[in-house]
């Protein structure tokens, strides 16, 4: 969660997979390491809106 998960953060080196988005698809990025509570709330609301607007046929 936050920048460390999405970019490697302080663990940014050749021996670490750089970012969770290299492994699984990401819908919402949260800035900060650790992220601020406001950022988490914003991400949850953004994801909630995205889920409400998708149709079940869009899921694969």
CA distances from 11 to 23, 42, 44, 55, 60 (A): 16, 26, 26, 38, 32
Residues 39-60 pLDDT 10s: 999 999 999 999 888 877 766 6
pLDDT of residue 4: 74
Confidence check: pLDDT of 7 > 90:
no
Looking at every residue in the chain, the average pLDDT score rounds to 82
pLDDT of residue 12: 74
Q: The domain containing residue 42 runs over which residues?
A: 3-58
> Could you tell me the sign of the dihedral formed by the alpha carbons of 3, 22, 29, 26, in that order?
negative
Number of domains making up the chain: 1
Residue 52: CATH number of its domain: 3.40.50.12280
CA angle 37, 53, 59 (to 5 degrees): 100
pTM (global) more than 0.85: no
If phi over 0 gives left and psi between -120 and 50 gives alpha, with beta otherwise, what is residue 8? left
pLDDT of residue 60: 61
């Amino acid at each position: 969660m936050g920048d460390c998960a999405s970019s490697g953060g302080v663990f940014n080196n050749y021996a670490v997979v750089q970012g969770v988005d290299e492994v699984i698809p990401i819908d919402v990025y949260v800035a900060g390491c650790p992220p601020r509570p406001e950022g988490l709330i914003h991400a949850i609301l953004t994801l909630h809106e995205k889920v409400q607007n998708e149709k079940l046929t869009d899921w694969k």
